[in-house]
Chains A and B, each alone.
Chain A
Amino acid sequence: MNRSFRMLLRRFSRHKMAMYSLVILLTLILMAVTAPLITPYSPTRPSGKFLLPPDSEHLLGTDRIGRDMFTRILYAMRVSLMVGFLATLISTCLGVTLGLLSGYFGGPADRIIMGITDIVMSFPTILLVLVAAAIFKPGLGSIVLILGFVDWPGVARLVRGNVLSLRETNFIKSDITAGMPGRYILFSEIQPNTIGPVLVYATNVFAISILDEAALSFIGMGIQPPTPSLGNILNGAESLSVLTGKPWLWLPAGIVIFLLVICINFVGDALRDAFDPHGVH
């Protein structure tokens, strides 16, 4: 195994909270992926009497048309994790590409790309997302695209800043004086050195994407029922009778979102420390 990777691992594992978080996170992801093996019920079809409180057969009870809540939450986690992951993937790829181009080539390309990031960053994210969500047909694909296109400017700026400071280093100058081509300098020398900060930022985007998706679905502009998502399950809690009398219908979904996001944040924080070259060894 690579020496620097081992060092990274050692420094990461010193964070106890992050290690617990990683275990919880991986467990939740595993549960989401293997949902059909864990639960015998369907997330969209009734499987018993409606509005049953939790018991041994229905771990988290049933909803108002008799669907098993535990099953719905497992499948909702699938959807939320997938939306968060894909949105993060899109925004990271976009941001890294544009940031590299902007920082390396400078000039008009840089000015245009940075102008666009200024504009996108001037919108409160949620406003942009809401406007877009209202316009495009709500659904999994459009949510992924919307969230993916909102979060890239931060990544682009981060990468650009990194490229600008790397360009001043002597090893990049040595590459130039050795007559190495631009594609080698950009992709073999600069880009690998930006992976650490980008990965840390991406965990942050992942957490925010999950929160945004939940908020959107909660107000009915995200994932549409009957497909379960952690946000649209909570949607039902706006009715007073659910809120007061049937906590099993909304409390677990909220707790799962909270758990996912806080675990991702702890992992990201430990990653930041592990990647920080000035950190204590």
Chain B
Amino acid sequence: MIKYILKKLLLAVPILLGITLIDYLIMSIAGNPLDMMVGPRVTRESLAIRAEILGLDQPLWLQYISWLGQVISGNLGYSYKSHLSVAELIGTHIGPTLLLTGTALLLGMLIAVPLGIYSAVHRYEKRDYVLIGFSFGASSIPGFFLSLLLIYFFTVRLGLLPSGGMYTPGTGGSVSDIARHLIMPSLVLAVSIAGNNVRYIRSAVLEILDMDYLRTARAKGIGPALVIRKHALRNALLPIITVIGMEIPVLFGGSIIVEQIFSWPGLGLITMNAIIGRDYPVIMGVCLLSGVVVLCANLLTDILYALADPTIKY
């Protein structure tokens, strides 16, 4: 098992390198960040000095290597814009993002798992079709459109919920205040998670319900509720683990736009600002982080899978 994890970790290294390399190449095609600094009050000389300080006068591969060397020593570089260290920037913004995505994942699964199982148990009945229809609807509605609808109803019409930020400015941010701000953005993310996964969990449970051993259990006269609770749920754990693993990268991406709409002070917000401002070190840092997050999610899925399924050996 430990060997398996080590092997997976080793395999992740070239993928991570590939991620950074592709990033770097795309951005070098894009152009020079110095172009963004050009203005009436900036002289050529001062630009050249800046270029030297930032190491932008060196050939591309040298810049990449020096950046990589820094990363290995734990230094993600400094933002061109705010001159803050990238690690620090990410550190201060990762909390809100984790809060948002974590809540959304929990909420999404709390909706998807019971509905998926319910739908599977009542397959080919009217309520099954209705649920499937709803799940298609939930995964077809654009997140930003749903955000606008929610803001329209809950903020503009009903005046119940705040439309942006993480807490009311001026206050310290009590738990209930943050929770009120959290409802809408996490709901938007949760709806798309639930929409995609109700169908997935339904078909996974259906597959299990069709297995011979469950037929045997039913034939022994065990009632449907007990069959599901005792036999099916435990085996349905595997697809649920897979789903969570698959959702993490999607969530990470989805939060960028949702954070933008709700001005949620997380990673998505600094990512968007960095992208617009061509703040390379920040973009690279976020990409690297997302790569690490995705790879960790995959690894964690594999491990949980191995723990939950006794037939898998490594």
A-side residues, CB < 8 A to B, are 17, 115-116, 118-119, 121-127, 130-132, 134-136, 207, 211, 214-215, 218-219, 234, 237-238, 240, 243-244, 247, 250, 254, 257-258, 261-262, 265-266, 269
Contacts and interface: CB of A to CB of B under 8 A. Distances in A.
Nearest to B31: A135
A265 B136 contact: yes
Interface string B1-34: 0000000000000110011001100110111000
Contacts, number: 120
A135 B287 CA distance: 15
Residue of B18, B136, B139 with highest tally of chain A CB at under 10 A: B136
Interface residues of B, dominant DSSP: helix
Interface stretch (B72-80, B104-112, B176-184, B271-279): B271-279
B191 to A, nearest CB: 12
B253 interface: yes
Nearest to B252: A124
Contact of A122 (B27, B151, B254, B295): B295
A166 to B, nearest CB: 23
A215 B156 contact: no
Contact of B257 (A219, A250, A265): A219
19 contacts: A121-B249, A123-B19, A123-B290, A123-B294, A124-B254, A124-B294, A126-B254, A127-B252, A131-B27, A131-B275, A131-B283, A211-B142, A215-B144, A234-B145, A237-B148, A250-B148, A262-B137, A265-B140, A269-B136
Nearest to B248: A124
B142 A127 contact: no
A132 B26 contact: yes
A17 B254 CA distance: 28
A219 B156 contact: no
A135 B26 CA distance: 8
A136 B245 CA distance: 31
A126 B250 CA distance: 8
B130 to A, nearest CB: 11
B260 interface: yes
A254 B148 contact: yes
Contacts of A257: 142, 145
Contacts of B272: 130, 219
Interface residues on B, range: 35 or more
A66 B151 CA distance: 26
B148 A234 contact: yes
Given A215-B142, A215-B143, A126 B287 contact: no
B102 interface: no
B291 interface: yes
Given A219-B260, A244-B156, A258-B145, 13 more contacts: A119-B19, A121-B249, A122-B295, A123-B249, A123-B290, A124-B252, A131-B27, A135-B31, A136-B30, A240-B156, A243-B151, A243-B156, A265-B139
B152 interface: yes
B78 to A, nearest CB: 19
A115 B15 contact: yes
B55 interface: no
Contacts of B249: 121-124
Interface in B246-286: 249-250, 252-254, 256-257, 260-261, 271-272, 275-276, 278, 283, 286
Contacts of A240: 156
Given A135-B30, A258-B141, A119 B18 contact: yes
Contact of B140 (A17, A125, A234, A261): A261
A20 B143 CA distance: 25
Contacts of A17: 133
A266 B133 CA distance: 9
Interface in B13-72: 14-15, 18-19, 22-23, 26-27, 29-31
Interface in B134-183: 136-137, 139-145, 148-149, 151-152, 156
Contacts of B31: 135
B143 A130 contact: no
Given A124-B294, A234-B144, A134 B252 contact: no
Contacts of B145: 214, 234, 254, 257-258
Contacts of B156: 240, 243-244
A266 B148 contact: no
A130 B144 contact: no
Contacts of B261: 238
Interface string B113-146: 0000000000000000000010011011111110
Contacts of A218: 142, 144, 257
Closest 4 CB pairs of A and B: A124-B253, A135-B30, A126-B253, A262-B140
Nearest to A230: B142
Contacts of B149: 254
